[in-house]
Amino acid sequence: MKNLFTNFFKFDYYKCSNNDIIKSMVSTCLVWLSLTLSEGIYVLIATNILNIKIEKLMDNSSLQGAIITLPSLVIMFLIVIILKYIKDDILKFKVGS
């Protein structure tokens, strides 16, 4: 069982060359980071500026609760684009060194 486990990861690592594993892990982390940031930013905007009650934002059992939280997806999309350009600039710098 141990040989099967280690051989699988060696094959997987060998198959993904040129730092593909690192790039995919960084991209996954950036998506989760942008999701967290977008939810936090939207909750602050919705509660402080738009005066929407936090109970309505956290109500995921109704259609109104789902529609109210749609702007957080737009914020997430913008954060993903910004972080993608930052990540690409960092990786260019690393590869260029």
Chain segment 68-92, per-residue pLDDT in tens: 878 888 898 899 888 888 877 776 7
Residue-averaged pLDDT of the chain: 75
Does the pLDDT value for residue 15 go beyond 90? Answer: no
What length is written for the chain? 97
Share of the chain above pLDDT 90, in %: 7
What pLDDT is attached to residue 55? 82
Please tell me the distance from the alpha carbon of residue 84 to that of residue 87, in angstroms, as a whole number. 5
Amino acid occupying residue 30: L
Q: Given pLDDT bands bounded at 50, 70 and 90, which one contains residue 5?
A: very low
Please tell me the distance from the alpha carbon of residue 41 to that of residue 50, in angstroms, as a whole number. 12
Q: What is the pTM of this model?
A: 0.63
Q: Which residue, chain included where needed, has tokens 């997806």?
A: 73
Q: Given pLDDT bands bounded at 50, 70 and 90, which one contains residue 1?
A: very low
